[in-house]
Amino acid sequence: MENKVMIQAENIRFRYMPELAPAVDGVSMQIKKGEFVAVLGANGCGKSTISKHFNAILLPERGTVMVEGMDTREDAHLYDIRQKVGMVFQNPDNQIVATVVEEDVAFALENLGVPPQEIRTRIDDAMEMAGIAKHKHKAPHKLSGGQKQRVAIAGVIAMRPDCLILDEATAMLDPIGREKVMKTIRRLNKEFGITVVTITHYMEEAAQADRILVMNKGKVVLEGTPKEVFSQVDLLHSLRLDVPQATELAQQLRAAGLDMPNDCITEQECAEALAKLLKNSAN
Amino acid sequence: MIRDITIGQHFPGNSVLHRLDPRMKIVLTMAYIVLLFVAANPAGLALATVLLAGLYRVAKIPLRIIVKSLKPILPIIVFTVVLNLFFITGESQPLVELGFIKIYSEGIRYAVLMGVRIILLIAGTSLLTYTTSPIALTDAIERLLSPLSKLHLPVHELAMVMTIALRFIPTLIEETDKIMNAQKARGAQLDSGTLQQRMKAMVPILIPLFVSAFRRADELAMAMECRCYRGGEGRTRLKQLRLTTNDWLCCVVCLVLFGAIWCTNFFFTGL
């Protein structure tokens, strides 16, 4: 399981219009099964473009994208790929189709021609997994942003995908809604083994990933675990990216001559390092 | 305030009529409309009124709701009644003669029948929308029209358009509200001035609304593609509509009553 490849992108180049500069150029990345990957990058770096290649919404001009061994350019695999790789977008309002929550969750299964009894059990499971089962008879516009986004997630996981791509799925939510959505996503990843690729501007979210890819001007420029990536504070700043607040604090304290580690990315780690520092200076 | 508008005027409940198969309700409503035109005699319309009143009782829909739904079409009713009153000519002497205006007894009779018929028409079709949720209506229309898809009519697509429209009405109303507030904050005067000025003031609201609606449509289309949408072919539905014995029973009862009302024609000939 550990080493199986979910998505393999090889040397991708893509242009939205022939006369425009390529949005991504020469990007290669590999997503393993069960992994939780965060993709970071400033606006317009091509991170959304690359993610849309993963379920054949966009097709590469050059290079190949393989999803579990299926080439996205082959029409015969199109719906298999879209069923395996689900996608959640930024605005929850613009991805809900039906006027009742449970009908919306059933939408993908109806499209796939799943028999009605099976749709029923699968949407009940999906709504349970996304934590929205108690809202199933409500109208989507009566829900909060975070709830709507979890409806969208339920609608995707009802397809039983192997991989979930979140294209800034938490960007429009308030902090509580964002935390609940992230909790749902972590649970889907840890308990159900769904591969997660999240594109985000929130460094605290990226810090929870197994691996981070940093993109700039249509290329992958940095790759590694959150600790490895966030320890390169200057490089990230030069790419117009932030680091988590805890890392920023530790970095500034180091610059001021204090003995802080350069790999603390969570508040917990930072607090412990500070406590240790204070204890040492007291002695 | 703008958010309170309810579309489709659904009046939730759990009566026999609410639970009746929506397809059956549509067909019976259409039969009722036809009945109003074929049973064009006082007794027929009186019985049709009694029947409708009975159905409203069964559905437990209060009288004030019906009155409310009739209010907007009141001018049309008055207009039709007045028109009929003045323009129907009879064989007997006119009852009233004021210059060029002549009112005959046939005119009065016909005007009253016409007025009652329009009221029944509106009240009858409203009963359908009161007792059926918009989504069930859309579903039923899709199923009823599905034979037409063999003639390559885009029945599924039409139903999809209706569903999405229903889904986005509250979203767009909310958005209109937001844009109005944003423009007011920039000094737009929406509630004052002449009619022409007020219409001009709507332009800065409609343009952003359209732009955003197109953006939404674009994103929605992509989200639908991501969820394997490929038109109506090979699609299954979560909710299956099945006609139960109860539905057939209601159908038979209604048709018998409709038949009885139609039979009044044999006793009242003429207008």
For residue B170, the chain A residues in CB contact (below 8 A) are: 139, 141
Is the CB of residue A119 less than 8 Å away from at least one CB of chain B?
yes
List the domain boundaries for chain A: 5-243, 244-283
Residue B256: per-residue pLDDT: 93
Written in H, E and C, the secondary structure of chain A is: CCCCEEEEEEEEEECCCCCCCCCEEEEEEEEECCCEEEEECCCCCCHHHHHHHCCCCCCCCEEEEEECCEECCCHHHHHHHHHHEEEECCCHHHHCCCCCHHHHHHHHHHHCCCCHHHHHHHHHHHHHHHCCHHHCCCCHHHCCHHHHHHHHHHHHHCCCCCEEEEECCCCCCCHHHHHHHHHHHHHHHHHHCCEEEEECCCHHHHCCCCEEEEEECCEEEEEECHHHHHCCHHHHHHCCCCCCHHHHHHHHHHHCCCCCCCCCCCHHHHHHHHHHHHHHHHC
CA A60, A65, A67, A69 dihedral sign is positive
Query: Rounded to a whole number, what is the distance in Å from the CA of B233 to chain A's nearest CA?
Result: 9
Residue A89: per-residue pLDDT: 93
Instruction: Judge if ipTM > 0.90.
Output: no
Is the CB of residue B223 less than 8 Å away from at least one CB of chain A?
yes
For residue B236, the chain A residues in CB contact (below 8 A) are: 109-110, 113-116, 119
Residue A1: per-residue pLDDT: 45
Residue A3: per-residue pLDDT: 65
In angstroms, the CA B37 to CA A89 distance is: 53
Q: What is the pLDDT of residues A173-224, one digit of tens each?
A: 899 989 999 999 999 999 999 999 999 988 989 999 999 999 998 889 999 9
pLDDT band at A119; cut points 50, 70, 90: very high
Q: What percent of chain A has pLDDT over 70?
A: 99
| Averaged pLDDT score across all residues of chain A | 91
Residue B7: per-residue pLDDT: 45
How confident is the model over A149-176, as a mean pLDDT?
A: 93
**Which of A80, A105, A111 has the highest number of chain B CBs within 10 A, making it the mutation to test binding with B?**
A111
Residue B266: per-residue pLDDT: 81
| CATH node for A5-243 | 3.40.50.300
B 66-105 residues with CB below 8 A of A?
A: none
CA distances from residue B188 to B175, B185, B202 in whole angstroms, order as listed: 17, 7, 9
Residue type, B49: T
Q: Which candidate from B171, B216, B228 shows the least CB-CB separation from A79?
A: B228
- Asked if A70 contacts A77 with a C-beta cutoff of 8 angstroms, the reply is yes
For residue A93, the chain B residues in CB contact (below 8 A) are: 171, 216
Closest B-chain CA to A118: B238
Is the CB of residue B134 less than 8 Å away from at least one CB of chain A?
yes
- Its pTM stands at 0.81
- Under-50 pLDDT residues of chain B: 1-7, 271
Does the distance separating the beta carbons of B227 and A107 come in below 8 Å?
yes
Q: Which candidate from A94, A98, A106 shows the least CB-CB separation from B219?
A: A94
